[in-house]
Structure 1
Amino acid sequence: KATQGSGDVKYHLGTEGTFTSATGRTIPVYLAANPSHLEAVDGVLEGIVRAKQDRRPAGTFSVLPIAIHGDAALSGQGIVVEILQMSQLRAYRTGGTVHININNQVGFTTPPADGHTSTYSTDVAKTIQAPIFHVNGDDPEAVVRIAELAFAYRQEFHRDVVVDLVCYRRRGHNEGDDPSMTQPLMYNLIEAKRSVRTLYTEALIGRGDITQEEYQASHRDFQDRLERAFGETHAAQTGSMPIPIQNGQPVTGLGLSGSIQDNAVGEPATTGVDEAVLRIVGDAHGNPPAGFTVHTKLQALLDKRVEMSRSGTIDWAMGELFALGSVLLEGTPVRMAGQDTRRGTFVQRHAVLHDRENGQKWLPLANLAENQAPFWIYDSLLSEYAAVGFEYGYSVERADALVLWEAQFGDFANGAQIVIDEFISSAEQKWGQRSSVVLLLPHGYEGQGPDHSSARIERYLQLCGENNMTVARPSTPASYFHLLRRQAYARPRRPLIVFTPKAMLRLRGATSEIADFTSGRFEPVIDDNRVADKAAAKRVLLTSGKIYYDIIAELDKREDSTTAVVRMEQFYPLPIPEMNATLAQYPNADIVWTQDEPENQGAWPFICLELVKHLTGRTIKVASRPASASPATGSSKRSAIEQVELIEKALSLP
């Protein structure tokens, strides 16, 4: 069954089927879809394998990952080192990967002397002391022997192993390439060299293993099979083909692999939970294992979490724990990974607590009920590229799980830009491959400089099209709670990009009450309940994120009741009906999009291009920082001045 959508070249497409051996034994085989970006699929493959293995008893490693490399990519692409370093980590181990290096001794036109400093292209595997078997590609029996040995090693030691298949590329890199132009001496030798089939046939006949007649009969049979396959393929290609219709509906009928087939459509009418569920999650934080010594600095936090589950004033971290805990109680597994994710970059989550005396770990969300779903949360290695690919792959395979990856700061997610571009945003369109992976990207302009302020909202919005993913920036713990719960159950599955807060994690006004969690659903647009006479409002500030609270504080100080502040909690898919319905209540008001980011960044480029054309005769002005090459200033004082200036601009634009 091919895994393909409306557009990609054939050699990128994945497939799934069953291999039947000469003895009749069968084994399922899964080929991961992959882009032209060399080695980018490595993390995705490992994530898919780990997800399959997590359905089985721990430590059995009964799914074998095989990664096929080229010599130039193996030595040249940095993600290879990341994958190797993942191989024995608890968050990522898959019981050993068999790496097969197709060593053609040339990378397109680059010779080995210009492709790697190491003696062999496979020397990168020495970083984890993996065995490396160099084998002559002209000797099929030696190749089979080494393959058997590599597999036996993996099965015995559950560690990575490398097969370096030393061979050559008889033709060019593609149909238009003549390698003799750049490697004349090498290709003089190759042109004079007999093929592997010829050499092996001569050896078999010379040893008396087969006769010339048996070879010729076998060769004719093989050629006949090729001709039949060619004829069937030609007939399929020249026949009528369906034309994709861009109607905004989920892609269906693509022959998706059984593990990811899911054409359901819809989402829960409400994502609220019973108050008893909140109490279960709260109580779990007040029930440490017997003899567990809680760190003195964390006991007050745990007590507060129990109290919040009763009396409200719920902060961001607790709202998140309510979301994760509630889906666990409903039978949905949760996997969460990232740098510092267990504690949280901003010391806010504490999903894993450590005994102050002996280091024992305690996971409150793993101890909610006897019949709850598994909860896995890991601190990742210091990687974005491979780590995001892994979580994406895991989510592809596990439609039943809520899978989240958190950036240490949202700025650092651009280290995984290839995965975001080639898989997260476009895999369904290209291959019909669905994922519901969640990226949590801390974002906020609080004077921390150009590398700790912006998760690059503009980049994700530029990738949006055909309802390919959801991009949101919730402003309250309850909004975040409902967003995560909707993501766990909404179909068809789509990736979710969430711009999460930093300073707002502890902002006194940015809390929610119990009732906000026990009813309702995620609202993509939140109106301003401060304005009594909406028709009299002179200005509507349309905004998202923490700046909402800064604006409200300024309006309260000015006692301004003619300016409304409307929050856009979801950027994409555009909440057009909700936005038009909200703005229609302010017929006499000017609309100003207000953002922390520079004018050429953040959501504004998307708002002015996409949202404006859907508004019923309304126009939007903008209040932001000036357009800038860098996301933010390096001076906290300058940042504070800019914030005051842009809020003043938002409130005074003519």
Structure 2
Amino acid sequence: MHNGVMKAWLESSHLAGANASYIEDLYESYLDNPDSVADEWRTLFDGLPQVNGHAVEQPHSRVKDYFRRLAKDTSRFSAPVSDPDVDAKQVRVLQLINAFRFRGHQNANLDPLGLWQRDVIAELDPAFHNLQGADLDATFNVGSYAIGRETMVLSDLYASLKKTYCGSIGADYMHLTSTEEKRWLQQRLESIEGTGSYSTEEKTRFLDSLTAAEGLERYLGAKFPGAKRFSLEGGDAMIPMLKELIRRAGEQGCKEAVIGMAHRGRLNVLINVLGKRAQDLFDEFAGKHGESWGTGDVKYHMGFSSDFATPGGNVHLALAFNPSHLEIVNPVVIGSVRARMDRRGDLDGSSVLPITIHGDSAIAGQGVVAETFNMSQTRAYGVGGTVRIVINNQVGFTTSNHRDVRSTEYCTDIAKAVQAPVLHVNGDDPEAVVLVTQIALDYRNTFKRDVVIELVCYRRHGHNEADEPNATQPLMYQKIKQHPTPRKIYADQLVAEGTLSQEAATALVNEYRDALDRGERVVKEWRPMEQHTVNWTPYLGHSWDMNYDATLPIEALRALGEKVTQYPASHVLQRQVEKIYEDRRAMTAGEKLVDWGFAETLAYATLVERGERVRITGQDSGRGTFFHRHAVLHNQNDASTYTPLCNIGEGQGPFEVYDSVLSEEAVLAFEYGYATAEPAGLTIWEAQFGDFANGAQVVIDQFLSSGEQKWGRMCGLTMLLPHGYEGQGPEHSSARLERYLQLCAEHNMQVCVPSTPAQVFHMLRRQVVRPMRRPLVVMSPKSLLRHPQAVSKLDELAEGRFYNAIGEVDPLDPKGVKRVVFCSGKVYYDLLEARRKAEQKDVALVRIEQLYPFPEEEVRAILADYSHVTDFVWCQEEPKNQGAWYCTRHHYDDVLPAGATLRYAGRPASASPAVGYMSVHIKQQKALVEDALTLA
């Protein structure tokens, strides 16, 4: 760069007047990452004074003076001195190119209806840069503009920039901090001027897909008028987009694709992409259904699986089931993809592709989207990037004014938080749609990051087919009624350019309608499914009380205990952690009783030792929120980590434990998706405090508790929810046990409150060793982790099993018992301590360790010794309107002796889960224990 250019740079608007801070911003970016600024700026900044070889903060005046000296010192530059005015214009040409890269998308032709009112971007006009008149015929260096030429006539350059950045594609990517990624996208877009080149065969294929998209909707509208179907009409280009995305993914080695989407267009995708038989859909519209398990669900919630033929081989497709909570399916899809990747040994997502399809208002409005974006590059939840498609039909439910549905220019701006490029595209231009689809997939596969496509379209009908959209969008729907369909626009284009005849275009319409009349599959690429995914057959048809072998040789357990308590001598532990591992070695040797943390660790060890996978995520899961797990050991000298459970021996199963992002909703949904795609092994989500699962209530209600009944989707996910009244206040006491029990029916899940280390050991093993796969909700402890009474012998782990109910442990004479107290969890130890202290012999304590499914036969067996007792009490720590009381009392009607009554002992009903004052907590706890034990 020579002095004339420098002079022009100094006098440009970037460094003058109110924008003088621009240079400081550039320099700050350079300090943070030298590659984040253009080569010219980086070269100049490299020449600033440095300290010990490193750039340092410089005041604006010093940097500007440095530039001025450069401008005067012509010896610094290899280029000869030239006319300063010419150099100034050259700089302004480069600024024009940059303006299009930054802001061209804001003047792109994106809205098919032409209703968008967008500000004119002055920087996109050459005149803004003082380039006009004869300048338009002058030739300039185009710098890094990837057109393939070093120089261009300015008028040709301007036309090329408009074609590239202001046509049917609006490329929004200059927010990326990665120079490599920006240059990659510039090369892809600018080298072809934002326009794809397609063969006659390809164009016919695109039209065929548009014909199918339109044909299905018209057929359903005529055959089932008024039926709710959430028509795709207006966004028809999604069908060629998806088919080309899958086709290209298969060419690049993808073996599976998991798709998540909401209602709009779902039926079209089922029929025209996944290959569901048309007759099956028609039968569903007609109210016919075959014999199926469970309650079923509405048509536009249903999933489907098939194989799709591509030039690179078949790709297995799975469309996820999802409820009306639109965006919650996204982390479920990502979790399913991660499970499939793990099963394939795929570390970067090369063989499995996640595709999520969003609505414009939903992606901007629902927080789980931001949570899922935030997870995309983390160790626990990364899948090598997701292709995210936004169907922007410009109406959110009935709201079309974007000022009411978001605070940003684009609905996709949320993606910028994670450096995802956004490719906006006009839905009436199918070739542009295919082009951005190809670029998006290639970007994802190259950089292993999320990428977003915004398909700007419209909704030909209202929110659903029974809606009247003119009531709230009269102008839009007047325009839509006059607007030709995407298929007609493209067919007319192909006829006009001579690609195919009008008769050929019409024939495609008739052929598709005839196929629907025959009820056939209409996807030519459909193939019968091969065994791409895991076989669920071994896990079907089992009841919760089935027999299984829970025993282990004590010698094998001791050997595992020795392995999981060893770590390299060079790995220096924190003092308290070292003491925990010393104690565990003593427990292995039989010198101490086993505590909770070690029993849990041994359970995992027995599973991975037999080749099973164990995955645990949660906000403090590596060490455990309450300092009890310490599965990951941190070296105090160099911060390196060592995980004993990963070092059991050759052939062991993988053990993964991750400290998760600070989210409940997206993380639990991810783990649900993982567990529904991988029945083998143990998948655990652990709440930091059980109360925090409130933030994931949608996942619990819509997926975990009802997914099997609605969709036949089995899931063995385990939730560990720390629960127990320790005086820590309303948000750190109750995991809301009552909410889970209220959701229990038809043996849909298990709710357990284990009270001993042996019980948690067997409970966790049972979830894997027993082939039944249903969710396990655990009220896990806090104070019991170190309670002196909550310990077990090692042989109880080796020889026992999980007991759904535990009877009296003290040597009481059953004939002398006048009252039986039922309870669960920590309150048992308070009752036991108080009874022993009072030397009371007439009250027996019975623990219900599994509240659902209720262990009726085991409780009957325990109560056989108390057939004479009529006074029964249920004691709980939770307020009366919470906990297990209301949701379980009916189970005792069939097991209590004739004439017996069951009474409540616990905290009074309360709007809050717990009190906030320790003194009040202690008083309440003492009162409920006395109430349970004191006989009238």
- 2:127 is aligned to none
* Secondary structure at 1:133 match in 2: strand
Query: What's the CA shift for 1:263?
Result: 1.6
- 2:389 is aligned to 100
Compared CA separation, residues 45 and 4, structure 1 to 2 (3 A): farther
| Structure possessing the higher radius of gyration over alpha carbons | 2
* 1:473 matches 2:753: yes
**Among 640, 646, 649, the residue aligned to 2:922:** 640
- 1:580 is aligned to 860
**Among 489, 493, 515, the residue aligned to 1:199:** 489
* Secondary structure at 2:845 match in 1: strand
* 1:596 matches 2:882: no
* 1:9 matches 2:298: yes
CA distance in 1 between partners of 2:589 and 2:636 (Å) = 28
Alignment of structure 1 residues 517-536 onto 2, 5 Å: 517-536=797-816
Deviation sequence 1:75-114 (CA, Å, 0-9, x none): 0000000000000000000000000000011111012221
Moved more, 274-283 or 525-534: 274-283
Alignment of structure 1 residues 254-653 onto 2, 5 Å: 259-261=535-537, 262-263=539-540, 265=542, 267=546, 269-311=548-590, 312-589=592-869, 590-617=871-898, 618-652=900-934
- 2:340 is aligned to 52
Give the TM-score normalised by structure 2: 0.66
Query: What's the CA shift for 1:213?
Result: 1.3
Query: What's the CA shift for 1:230?
Result: 7.9
Alignment of structure 1 residues 124-163 onto 2, 5 Å: 124-163=414-453
CA distance in 1 between partners of 2:928 and 2:346 (Å) = 54
Q: Any conservation in 2 of the 1:15–1:257 contact (CA below 8 Å)?
A: no
Query: What's the CA shift for 1:173?
Result: 1.2
CA distance in 2 between partners of 1:371 and 1:283 (Å) = 18
CA distance in 1 between partners of 2:659 and 2:643 (Å) = 13
- 1:80 is aligned to 369
Q: What letter is aligned with 1:400?
A: A
CA distance in 1 between partners of 2:864 and 2:657 (Å) = 44
Deviation sequence 1:98-140 (CA, Å, 0-9, x none): 0000001111101222100000000000000100000000001
Q: Any conservation in 1 of the 2:304–2:319 contact (CA below 8 Å)?
A: yes
Q: Any conservation in 1 of the 2:816–2:841 contact (CA below 8 Å)?
A: no
- 1:252 is aligned to none
Compared CA separation, residues 279 and 314, structure 1 to 2 (3 A): same
Query: What's the CA shift for 1:531?
Result: 3.9
Compared CA separation, residues 120 and 414, structure 1 to 2 (3 A): same
Q: Any conservation in 2 of the 1:285–1:302 contact (CA below 8 Å)?
A: no
CA distance in 2 between partners of 1:495 and 1:470 (Å) = 6
| Identity value in percent | 47
Deviation sequence 1:423-481 (CA, Å, 0-9, x none): 11000000000000000000001100000000001000000000000100010000111
CA distance in 2 between partners of 1:269 and 1:181 (Å) = 62
- 1:246 is aligned to none
CA distance in 2 between partners of 1:133 and 1:270 (Å) = 56
Q: What letter is aligned with 1:54?
A: D
Q: Any conservation in 1 of the 2:550–2:769 contact (CA below 8 Å)?
A: no
Moved more, 535-544 or 119-128: 535-544
Deviation sequence 1:388-417 (CA, Å, 0-9, x none): 001111111111120000000000001000
CA distance in 2 between partners of 1:337 and 1:205 (Å) = 56
Compared CA separation, residues 491 and 129, structure 1 to 2 (3 A): same
Compared CA separation, residues 258 and 504, structure 1 to 2 (3 A): closer
- 2:318 is aligned to 30
Q: What letter is aligned with 2:399?
A: T
Moved more, 562-571 or 289-298: 289-298
Deviation sequence 1:291-338 (CA, Å, 0-9, x none): 222223321211111111121411111110011111111111100000
Query: What's the CA shift for 1:609?
Result: 3.1
**Among 82, 90, 113, the residue aligned to 2:379:** 90
CA distance in 1 between partners of 2:832 and 2:732 (Å) = 25
Q: What letter is aligned with 1:11?
A: Y
Q: What letter is aligned with 1:283?
A: E
* Secondary structure at 2:325 match in 1: coil
Compared CA separation, residues 161 and 19, structure 1 to 2 (3 A): same
- 2:460 is aligned to 170
* Secondary structure at 1:313 match in 2: coil
CA distance in 1 between partners of 2:392 and 2:575 (Å) = 57
Structure 2: unaligned runs, 5 residues or longer: 1-274, 277-291, 523-530
CA distance in 2 between partners of 1:382 and 1:469 (Å) = 26
CA distance in 2 between partners of 1:271 and 1:399 (Å) = 19
CA distance in 2 between partners of 1:231 and 1:321 (Å) = 51
Q: What letter is aligned with 1:138?
A: D
CA distance in 2 between partners of 1:333 and 1:57 (Å) = 13
Query: What's the CA shift for 1:257?
Result: 7.4
Bigger helix fraction: 2
Q: Any conservation in 1 of the 2:340–2:533 contact (CA below 8 Å)?
A: no
Q: Any conservation in 2 of the 1:4–1:14 contact (CA below 8 Å)?
A: no
Structure ranking higher on relative contact order (CA contacts 8 Å, 6+ apart): 1
Deviation sequence 1:553-603 (CA, Å, 0-9, x none): 111111111111111000000101111221221123211000001111100
**Among 203, 212, 221, the residue aligned to 2:502:** 212
CA distance in 2 between partners of 1:277 and 1:143 (Å) = 60
Deviation sequence 1:161-187 (CA, Å, 0-9, x none): 000000000011112201111111111
Q: Any conservation in 2 of the 1:384–1:416 contact (CA below 8 Å)?
A: yes
Q: What letter is aligned with 2:918?
A: S
Alignment of structure 1 residues 54-69 onto 2, 5 Å: 54-61=342-349, 62-69=351-358
Give the TM-score normalised by structure 1: 0.94
* Secondary structure at 1:447 match in 2: coil
CA distance in 2 between partners of 1:68 and 1:259 (Å) = 27
Query: What's the CA shift for 1:60?
Result: 3.8
CA distance in 2 between partners of 1:268 and 1:576 (Å) = 16
CA distance in 2 between partners of 1:220 and 1:117 (Å) = 45
Q: Any conservation in 1 of the 2:548–2:770 contact (CA below 8 Å)?
A: no
Query: What's the CA shift for 1:231?
Result: 11
Structure 1: unaligned runs, 5 residues or longer: 233-254
* 1:110 matches 2:399: yes
Moved more, 170-179 or 640-649: 170-179
* Secondary structure at 1:481 match in 2: helix
CA distance in 2 between partners of 1:30 and 1:259 (Å) = 15
* Secondary structure at 2:424 match in 1: strand
Compared CA separation, residues 24 and 361, structure 1 to 2 (3 A): closer
Compared CA separation, residues 63 and 531, structure 1 to 2 (3 A): same
